[in-house]
Amino acid sequence: MDFKLKNIPSQQGRIAIVTGANNGIGFETTLAMAKYGFKVVMACRNMKKAEKAKSAILQKSPDADLDILQLDLSDLNSVRAFAKNYKNNYSQLDVLINNAGVLIYSGKKNGAGIELQFATNHLGHFLLTNLLIDLMPDDTASRIVVLSSIAHKTAKIHFDDLNGENIDDAEAVYGQSKLANLMFADELNRQLKRSGKKMVVLAVHPGGSFSGLFEEMSKGVRYYMYRTLAPFILNSNSSAAKPSLFAALSPDVQGGEYFGPQGFNEFKGKVGIAKRSDYSKREDVAKRLWELSEELTGQPFIL
Ligand SMILES: NC(=O)c1ccc[n+]([C@@H]2O[C@H](COP(=O)([O-])OP(=O)(O)OC[C@H]3O[C@@H](n4cnc5c(N)ncnc54)[C@H](OP(=O)(O)O)[C@@H]3O)[C@@H](O)[C@H]2O)c1
């Protein structure tokens, strides 16, 4: 797939939200979207970090049109407050990039007792999308982009143990949240198609990049990753943002597709159709996850 970012026309007059815009892949996505002319609403949980990131983007791209709105995806009340705040300030949303994410090894839970990765990566974005989708024009240029991960491939949705209490492998619990991201994108796309809507939902994964995601790893492992692995097999954060940008901007996509880098182990390389597990294609599981997510967020999805 030949994705030439430089061929994208100006997007002036359009609005995008990027969650987790202050760091890593979200920062680079925000910078690039702003360069294309989008007004970008940076949806961030930490205002100080968001202001710092905004200044850094403005240094690189002085014309960037950026706003910051507070959002903690692990807290459904914060998601509701964000949506209300957004609707008070803007009448339209053209691109929603569900980028923010956490990788937690320590089994933390949110205030409602839900495992923090599932709560943040999936449930928060599920509710956010539900509350904002009515602002999106019904047009193929309207995009919902959901970040999944290679880690989805070995995961399952443990409906009887969502918090992963009986799962020994901490990464499998992260994988479950990223599988939920992918299956949510698929199911939303199916439901929109059934309702005759034209807006486009796509999943992407960024490959592997050395971002803030690995902060809970021991310093030794991080040093090893940074010094030995990263330069050879991992993406830079700006390259890792390309699948998201492709999904947000390319006219050459179909709802329900899943994009990522095409190189060794899908860690880096040109953007193309990504590999997915057979389990991720199961519509019965996606439907059950959807119903559970509606129940856990207390908000039926009306399309
Ligand atoms: N990097 C990789 O190798 C890789 C591979 C596969 C998938 N991904 C996915 O790529 C996405 C971006 O991650 P990244 O690698 O750029 O990691 P990152 O540098 O850690 O950035 C994650 C962003 O998410 C934000 N965030 C975390 N918890 C949040 C919450 N409760 N509410 C709102 N925002 C929250 C973080 O904010 P703070 O700065 O306040 O923490 C940060 O801005 C994630 O969905 C991740 O799962 C990354």
pLDDT of residue 221: 72
Q: Is residue 110 part of a domain?
A: yes
Task: Give the chain's residues under pLDDT 70.
Answer: 1-3, 5
Q: What pLDDT, on the 0 to 100 scale, is given for residue 7? A: 83
Residue nearest to atom 34 of ligand 1 (CA): 20
* Count of domains forming the chain: 1
* 106-111, Cβ contacts within 8 angstroms, sequence gap of 24 or more: 106/170, 106/216, 107/163, 107/164, 107/170, 107/173, 109/163, 110/74, 110/75, 111/74, 111/75
User: Does the CB atom of residue 206 touch ligand 1 within 6 A?
Assistant: yes
Full residue range of the structural domain in which residue 123 is found: 11-297
Q: Which helix (H) or strand (E) holds 177?
A: helix 170-194
Q: Answer whether 0.85 is exceeded by the pTM.
A: yes
Q: What is the pLDDT of residue 273?
A: 97
What confidence score (pLDDT) does residue 1 get? Answer: 53
Catalytic position from the list 174, 226, 258, 279: 174
Q: Rounded to whole angstroms, how far apart are CA atoms 280 and 285?
A: 8
Active site residue 174: yes
Cα of 187 to ligand 1 centre, how many Å? 23
Is 302 part of any domain?
no
Residue 127 sits in a domain whose CATH number is: 3.40.50.720
pLDDT of 215 reads 80
Whether 43 is covered by a domain: the verdict is yes
* Residue 32 CB coordination number (10 Å): 23
**Residue at 183: amino acid letter:** M
Q: Is residue 3 part of a domain?
A: no
Please indicate, yes or no, if residue 6 is contained in any of the structural domains.
Answer: no
Within-domain flag for 159: yes
Q: Residue 178: enclosing H or E segment and its boundaries?
A: helix 170-194
Residues facing residue 43 across a β-bridge: 19, 69
Q: State the closest ligand 1 atom to the C-alpha of 21, by its place in the atom list counted from 1.
A: 43
137 within a domain of the structure (yes/no): yes
Cα–Cα dist 91/116, whole Å: 31
Query: How many C-beta neighbours within 10 Å does residue 30 have?
Result: 31
Q: How far apart are the CA of 100 and the centre of ligand 1, in A? A: 4
What is the number of the ligand 1 atom nearest to the C-alpha of 210? 1
Indicate whether 203 belongs to any domain.
Answer: yes
Q: Measured in angstroms, how far is the CA atom of residue 99 from the centroid of ligand 1? A: 7
Q: Which atom of ligand 1 is nearest to the CA of 121?
A: 45
